Amino acid sequence: MTAASDRPTVLGPAPGWVDSVLLAGGENEPALHLAERIDRGALRALVARQEQALADAGLTAGGTATLLLPPSLGFVSALLAAWRIGAQVSLLDHRLTQAEVDRALERLAPQVLVEAAAPASTALRGFAAVETRAVARPAGTGAQTPHALIQLSSGSTGPSKVIARTADDLSFELDRYAALPEFPRRGHRIVLLSSVVHVLGLVGGLLQALHAGCELVLPERLTAAGILAAIGAGDAPTTVIGVPFHAELLAGANDPPALPSFVRMVVAGELTRPGLPEAFDARYGVPLGSMYGMTELGVIATDLTGTLRPELTPTDGLELREQDGELHIRMPEPPYLGLMDAARWSDGWLHTRDAARLDPGTGRVTILGRRDSQVSIGGLKVDLTEVEQTLGTLPGVTGAVIVFDAGAIEAYVTLDGATGDDVRADLAKQVASFKMPRHIRVLPELPRTSTGKVLRDAAALRKAAERAAAGAQGAGPQPTETGPTGAGHNGTNQAVSAT
């Protein structure tokens, strides 16, 4: 007989949490809506079929699986099935290049890869109809930790980090959502625009909807018309979850229909452009709420009513502190796999790298931008977030990003009804001369990450400006269909230099 101490330890999540936390509820209760309604009984049957396919590919408790799938029924059922088996799951965005996928698989070393059996068209679509294929990877390794979920950060400011979360950690985040009185609950609908591969769409959207008993709706098309159609397709109170770009898209929609079920939109991922909440409220008569969070631990603070701006209220159970102007959050264990960076986590505190201000009286937090947005120009300190926010308030500016490149401030904007010269003149009235960008480059759209965040990589922005300038040498600007990769505004491609 083998002694208990000699038995191999099976790592990965406890299988039972899927049934108790995510799949509980009556057979006929709504769960998902992707072109048609899928109730909980039908979803449980899909998960059971996926379990068998994964088991046939060799996945067992303590094993590892990577999902490379677009938003789809296949993604949802494969994720829940792998967790139900007791496997550790890592997620890759289906829009990655093959080279990026290969590098990620080398880092993650899964035993099973779940992918689409055939290519699917996903451009401007909220979901895809795909058949999944589970492929065994003999060189893969089993779970080395008890984590349920492995995610790569979105990489808007640099290389992705490998972030690990346990089932208990995910359940704790779901409890924090449940404690928010304005967040959707049983009988409500959630129209999800954010990627289900990343934390907001995955936990705040998919998992929270399953846990709370909401119906999760993925629009057929991620255009303004497609999103509005999804909102208007049901009578239950409906909340839209996305990133600020999606709110910009809807705020600019022409003649939206009456939407009596629309109660709120919530955005997260980056700071909201000044003036957007007011424009959104004026267009739809509902608040534009905001959330602040990180892949490392999910939702951190919220203003779902849109009345506290720019302050946010921390969610239940989190301890925050302000250390030398940076926000830290109590976290007993580091969330990263691989080499530990003391600048990100130390002594039980997660270092957010976000500049913030904590109000000692109310406990509310104001996010001021990235700590790395503080630069020195001629010995004078400049906050790039301040300049970017000011730029975003100017007439005709529909999008803006500021970076520090080769020792100088550079601005990239999208415009509607203004020119680069107009913007430079208006900005000069608002900020000191040493804060002025060396160039203001006008693009047809701002490059974005797969999650919809503005890309803040100086080299990528330069390349986008070069492509725009090259395109402008031929025919004039052409209209584009607005979608999740950019704002699609018409305008000339210009570069306005500092004088």
Mean pLDDT of all residues in 226-239: 97
Q: What pLDDT shows up at residue 477?
A: 41
User: Mean pLDDT of all residues in the chain?
Assistant: 87
Domains 166-318 and 378-497 share a fold: no
Mean pLDDT of all residues in 140-150: 95
Residue 33 has pLDDT above 80, yes or no: yes
Mean pLDDT of all residues in 405-409: 85
Q: What angle do CA 341, 373, 415 make, to 5 degrees?
A: 130
Residue 155 has pLDDT above 70, yes or no: no
Q: What pLDDT shows up at residue 96?
A: 83
Residue 162 has pLDDT above 50, yes or no: yes
Under a CB-based contact definition with an 8 Å cutoff, are residues 247 and 226 in contact? no
Q: What angle do CA 47, 14, 329 make, to 5 degrees?
A: 110
Residue 389 — very low, low, confident or very high, per pLDDT cuts 50/70/90? confident
Residue type, 498: A
11-26+37-162: CATH architecture: 3-Layer(aba) Sandwich (3.40)
Say which residues have a Cβ less than 8 Å from residue 152's Cβ, sequence separation at least 6: 91, 92, 104, 160, 161, 162, 163
Residue 318 has pLDDT above 90, yes or no: yes
Residue 498 has pLDDT above 60, yes or no: no
Q: What pLDDT shows up at residue 380?
A: 66
pLDDT tens per residue across span 238-287: 999 999 989 999 999 999 999 999 999 999 988 888 889 999 999 999 99
Residue 44 — very low, low, confident or very high, per pLDDT cuts 50/70/90? very high
Residue 413 — very low, low, confident or very high, per pLDDT cuts 50/70/90? very high
Question: In whole angstroms, what is the distance from residue 482 CA to residue 223 CA?
Answer: 6
Residue 7 — very low, low, confident or very high, per pLDDT cuts 50/70/90? very low
Q: What pLDDT shows up at residue 340?
A: 61
Domain borders along the chain are 11-26+37-162, 166-318, 378-497
Question: In whole angstroms, what is the distance from residue 263 CA to residue 157 CA?
Answer: 33
Residue 9 — very low, low, confident or very high, per pLDDT cuts 50/70/90? low
Buried b (16+ CB within 10 A) or exposed e, 84-105: bbbbbbbbbbbebeeeebeebb
- Give me the CATH topology for the region 378-497: GMP Synthetase; Chain A, domain 3 (3.30.300)
pLDDT tens per residue across span 170-209: 999 999 999 999 999 999 999 999 989 989 999 999 999 9
Residue 378 — very low, low, confident or very high, per pLDDT cuts 50/70/90? low
Residue 452 has pLDDT above 60, yes or no: yes
Strand-pair partners of 262: 238
Q: What pLDDT shows up at residue 488?
A: 30
Please tell us whether the domain made up of 166-318 is placed in CATH 3.40.50.12780.
yes
Mean pLDDT of all residues in 107-127: 91
Kind of pairing between the strands at 408-415 and 439-442: parallel
Angle formed by the axes of helices 420-428 and 384-392, nearest 10°: 120
Say which residues have a Cβ less than 8 Å from residue 154's Cβ, sequence separation at least 6: 160, 198, 269, 295, 449, 450, 451, 453
Residue 32 has pLDDT above 90, yes or no: yes
Residue 160 — very low, low, confident or very high, per pLDDT cuts 50/70/90? low
Kind of pairing between the strands at 64-68 and 112-116: parallel
Q: What pLDDT shows up at residue 16?
A: 84
